[in-house]
Structure 1
Amino acid sequence: MTLDQNKTPLYDAVKYHVKRNAVPLQIPGHKHGHGLEEYREFVGENVLRMDLNETRGIDMIWDPVTVIAEAERLLADSLGAKFAYFLINGTTSGVQAMIMSTCKPGDQIILPRNAHKSIFNGLILSGANPVYVQPEVDDYLSIVTSIRVESLRQAIDKNPAAKAVMAINPSYYGVAPDLRIIVSTAHERCIPVLVDEAHGTHMGFHAHFPVSAMAAGADMSAASLHKTGGSMTQSSALLIGNGKINPNYIKQVLNLTYTSSPSYILLCSLDVARKQLATRGTAMLERVLELAGWARKEINQIEGLFAPDKKYFEQSGHFSFDDTKLLVNVRKLGLTGYEVEEILAKDYNILIELADMYNILAIISLGEQKEYLEAFVKALQNIAAHAGGKEIKQIETVQFYPEVVLPPRQAFFSSKKSVPLEECAGEIAGEMVMVYPPGIPLVSMGEIITADIIEYVKMLKAEKCTLQGTTDPIVDNIMVLDI
């Protein structure tokens, strides 16, 4: 049966309830904003009227049977999935549910080492043991790209009892693996494939993009509609792609961490974003690609800057690229990416998504405006014109291979002590140390901290990079296992 993607059942039900203007003798306690007047004056009355508790007629997220159930069926249909579940704790909750529903304590899961912290937290919650696949490095850009199929195949051969394979599609930088082959390689061994698609919700709606998880035949994926699909921050979806995964068990796992007080504002944004993608997504993304292409062309005409496109990454034959990720290498300006990010924010009032030693990253998405990109290009032209022009000496891209001494869950529950950063070499990490964004741990719980990692952390601190995951916010000390 063909579903009508013009429908927004949950959004319509909530709008009806707002217009009904029922006497609210229930929570939330602000009572349509009357108890939060300053906030209501700024955000508007409708937003606070949509801030509902579980109420007759608007369904319940943890056991939906009416409008939420219908909205989830529409979402699954639009994304090519068999089942879909709304998430309002971000893709983090979906990633953790995927791991917990396929891995029990002690089971092995094969995953890229450049995974997001949510995956590492999923290991702690599930008790699964990681088998890392090291991703490739682009030496010119000095970024980690993605894993090659050959590396995955070797990991499966060495660990045939693994219960799942995790893939990232695409990376924060926009690089995507050969996902179809990854899926078929794992399925040959009857291993399910889970996909962190936090940055790729839009990819299934236009042929130019790398293949989406569902189109590639993945068993499950978690997609951040709020990142690239148009919904509000914190709203995402968990997708099931075939009949091999029990949807009822998935729901049980989700219910372990679901809030009992969901935000219908976020849920409605998912319903409307899905409708928009399903009915107008291709045309909207065509415009986005045109804008991204224009900006990339202009930036590549600025001396000292390089913005790679899909063709650049496809040369290797192993990877693809999402052209809505506007990656700009700035090394030849004599400035670091961190410095360019700071200049853009302070001098031009322009906020970008990410910076590293040699690059900056801007995200081009559904709501993009030409004037935003014109301002960005003009700012880069001015920065380049006044830069020193002495190319920064490129440091070899740091890719650590930390030794896993204890499973993350065991390390998490072990006794810990605080040790000065300078004295941590040889210690077992009791917490994660990560650059955020993108949220990829340099060292994770249960791994040996090496002298190289310490030196790299010191360099990042000197560049005023944002480091997270540590109890000490300035990372002068790290929690290590007290054994």
Structure 2
Amino acid sequence: MGRPRDTPDPRAAHSTFVTSFDPLGLAGDAPLFAAWLRLSAGVRSGRTQFFSIPGHKQSSRLTGPLVDGDLPLYAGLDTVQLSGGLLAAAEQRAAALWGVDWCRFSVGGSTHANQAVALAVGAPGDTVIVSRTLHRSMLTGLILAGLRPVWVYPELDERHGLPLGVPVEAVAKALAAHPEAKAVLVGDPSYVGTTGDIAGLASTAHAAGVPLIVDGAWAAHFGFHPGYPPHALALGADALVLSAHKTLPAMNQAALLLARTSSARGLLDPSRLERGFDAGHTTSPSGAILASIDASRALLQHHGDRLLGDLLDLRLNAVERLREVPGLEVVTGDRTDPAKLVIRLPGTGACGLKVDARLRAAGFTIEMADRDTLVPMLTMADEAPAVDALVSEIITAVDEERGSAREVAFAPSWRTVPVTDAVPREAFFARHETVDAQDAVGRVSAELIAPYPPGVPVLAPGEVITQEIVDGLRRVAHDGGRIAYAEDPTLTTFQVVSPPSTSGR
């Protein structure tokens, strides 16, 4: 029996849906994305009815369109038993693209991936060499795993007041002093796009018989156009953490953990990686987030060269206009992400947080602002008209906030050299008490405090609270910055480790 003449053809509706949601035809090489498209079409046509989680049942009746497209992996894109093998197929494609044999997709962002690595590289009490400009997620990973960090510090760019890469010599010295170390962990590129010598770090780590782990959260686009640096795995790193949602068109919380486990070096155990990953992984992963990782991988593989080239042109045009602003500097150079737009304001006298407020009032949001720095994120999703409008608004806002030029200063996140009294895990679980700020100086911190962004800890559990740290954090707060993760973000009080004779929580 045929369909009534006025009944829409479901095949035509499906084709229209796929065309509108997959304009570049990525689904043919993206199994999770293809499954999301099929299931979404079924939901929209009414052919698919959910009697499984999530509880919104893809219905807009209660919360409106907020949940559109929020489809699960289990009993959604695939069966509860994952009998279709879609996730494994998508992860294998990503591993092949980055030239390794192991990959997992995370819906918990680079935070989850960093913590998984920490759980995989050592046992409680083991030593690891760690860049101090690590993201707070890696530090919390050290706490979870009970690892003992030996800090290494980046070089500092005196001209711009920003961190550069961790010197190879510093890592070599730390490994020589700590032959018991199990791994080297660095963040590269930095939050502000500066890069280090990953190949040199990898060679140094391997000479000591340990793996190099790179938190490359901001570098998911590296390695897919000759104008960008190679990705860390191509330079010899053993594992790489990537945030697909930062520089690729994936959904928030989308990340990848990639590793080389079958090389002759054998420095990473795939079973430990699996257990470390699963320890913090949700058992109800978002199929939509996973599909967005899959689609972003396919986009890089098939269109990355063209789109990343267009991004270079967008950024170059923005830089040329911004350089005409008296006193304003844009960070460039061989050791920087060529897509990152990092604007320095000391020469203009303008306060970045006030410039940011003007931008928000005009309808523009940017990734980061502190007193001296603005970081508007540019990605492959940007187009010239919007970038041009942003640059015009930045120029106007800086001129309206212009003042007397000031000296270049290093933010506390980049210049702090901690005094360590206890292993982070010990201080985290120790009895603690709340004391006034003036009484906290000289005491051991029980909490992690980081100006955000960039989320780099200025104070970690087990470190001595100094007057310099208190003053630096207060300057950030005074300038309008956010003091993150502190029990008291006003910095009136601090959480400190209680002496053995003092009762505490």
Output one character per residue of 1:69-127: Cα deviation in whole Å (capped at 9) or x when no partner: 10111111122222110100001111111111011101111011111000100110000
AA aligned opposite 2:291: C
Query: How much does 1:64 deviate?
Result: 7.8
Moved more, 147-156 or 375-384: 375-384
The CA deviation at 1:53 is 5.8
| Greater gyration radius | 2
Judged with a 3 Å threshold, the aligned counterparts in structure 2 of structure 1 residues 273 and 183 are, in CA distance, closer, same or farther, namely same
Q: 1:118 aligns with which of 132, 137, 152?
A: 137
Give 2:367's aligned residue.
353
Correspondence for 2:34 among 2, 5, 12: 12
Provide the secondary structure at the position in 2 that maps to 1:130: strand
Distance in 2 (CA, whole Å) between partners of 1:438 and 1:449 is 20
Aligned to 2:14: none
Matched, 1:459 2:475: yes
Give the residue type in structure 2 aligned to 1:332: G
Residues 275-298 of structure 1 deviation map (CA, whole Å, 9 limit, x = unaligned): 111100111000001100110111
Give CA deviations for 1:405-444 in whole Å, capped at 9, x if unaligned.
Answer: 1111111100111112232110100001111111001110
For 1:337, the equivalent position in structure 2 comes to 352
Query: Deviation of residue 57 (structure 1)?
Result: 6.4
Equivalent residue number for residue 437 of structure 2: 421
Q: Deviations over 1:180-235 (max 9, x none)?
A: 01001110111101110100010021122222111012111110011012111101
CA distance in 2 between counterparts of 1:64 and 1:129 reads 41
Contact 1:422/1:454 (<8 A) preserved: no
Q: In 1, distance between residues paired with 2:410 and 2:249?
A: 37
Q: Which runs of 5+ in 2 are unaligned?
A: 1-25, 500-505
Distance 1:332 1:18, change over 3 A: closer
**Aligned CA distance change for structure 1 residues 426 and 381 (closer, same or farther; 3 Å):** same
1:157 shift after superposition: 1.1
- Secondary structure at the residue paired with 1:429? coil
Match of 1:212 in 2: 231
Q: Which residue of 2 aligns with 1:33?
A: 59
Which residue of 2 is the match for residue 412 of structure 1? 428
1:45-64 matches, within 5 Å, as: 47-48=69-70, 51-52=71-72, 54-55=74-75, 58=78
SS at match of 1:71: helix
Alpha carbons 2:77, 2:287 under 8 Å: kept: no
- Of 21-30 and 415-424, more deviation after overlay is shown by 21-30
SS in structure 1 of the partner of residue 341 of structure 2: strand
1:282 to 2:305 alignment = yes
C-alpha contact 1:221 1:238 (8 A) present in aligned 2 = yes
Q: Verify the 8 A CA contact 2:78 2:84 in the aligned structure 1.
A: no
Deviations 1:337-358 (A, max 9, x none): 2222222223x22211112232
Match of 1:317 in 2: none
**Cα separation, partners in 2 of 1:396 and 1:69, compared to 1, 3 Å:** closer
AA partner of residue 310 (structure 2):
R
Matched, 1:374 2:388: yes
1:218-257 to 2 correspondences below 5 Å: 218-243=237-262, 244=266, 245-257=268-280
8 Å CA contact 1:13, 1:57 repeated in 2 = yes
TM-score by length of 2: 0.88
Structure 1 residues 327 and 60: alpha-carbon distance in aligned structure 2, compared to 1, 3 A threshold: farther
Question: Residue 376 of structure 2 corresponds to which residue in structure 1?
Answer: 362
CA contact (8 A) 1:169 1:212 kept: no
What is the distance in 2 between the residues matched to 1:471 and 1:57?
41
Name the residue aligned to 1:326.
341
Counterpart CA distance in 2 for 1:321 and 1:393 is: 23
Q: Work out the CA distance in 1 between the residues paired with 2:290 and 2:212.
A: 27
Select 1:435's aligned residue among 451, 457, 476: 451
Deviation at 1:477, TM superposition (A): 1.3
Change (3 A) 1:81 1:64: farther
Matches within 5 A, 1:296-307: 296-307=319-330
Residue type at the aligned position of 1:423 = D
Aligned-partner Cα distance in 2 for 1:65–1:175: 42
Which amino acid letter does the alignment assign opposite residue 339 of structure 1? K
SS at match of 1:360: strand
TM-score by length of 1: 0.92
Q: Secondary structure of 1:298's partner?
A: helix
Corresponding position of 2:18: none
Contact 1:141–1:358, Cα closer than 8 Å, also in 2: no
> SS at the partner of 1:208?
coil
Other-structure match for 1:199: 218
Contact (CA 8 Å) 1:129, 1:407: kept in 2 or not?
yes
Per-residue CA deviations over 1:256-307 (Å, capped at 9, x if unaligned) read 1111111111111111111111100111000001100110111011112111
Shift of 1:39: 2.3
8 Å contact kept, 1:328–1:361: yes
CA distance in 1, matches of 2:462, 2:376: 34
Most deviating of 281-290 and 417-426: 417-426
Read off the aligned partner of 1:357 and give its amino acid letter. Answer: R
Letter in 2 for 1:358: D
Q: Could you say if the C-alpha distance between residues 457 and 76 of structure 1 is closer, same or farther in structure 2, counting changes exceeding 3 Å?
A: same
Distance 2:366 2:52 in 1: 41
In structure 2, what is the Cα distance between the partners aligned to 1:466 and 1:195? 27
- The letter for the 2-side match of 1:29 is G
Cα deviation, residue 373, structure 1: 1.7
Corresponding pairs, count: 464
Is the alpha carbon distance of 1:330 and 1:414 closer, same or farther for their aligned partners in structure 2, counting shifts above 3 Å? same
Separation of aligned partners in 1, 2:259 and 2:83? 17
Letter in 2 for 1:338: L
**Is this contact kept in 1: 2:449–2:458, CA < 8 A?**
yes
Which stretch shows the higher mean deviation, 283-292 or 238-247?
Answer: 238-247
Q: Tell me the distance in 2 between the aligned counterparts of 1:205 and 1:6.
A: 20
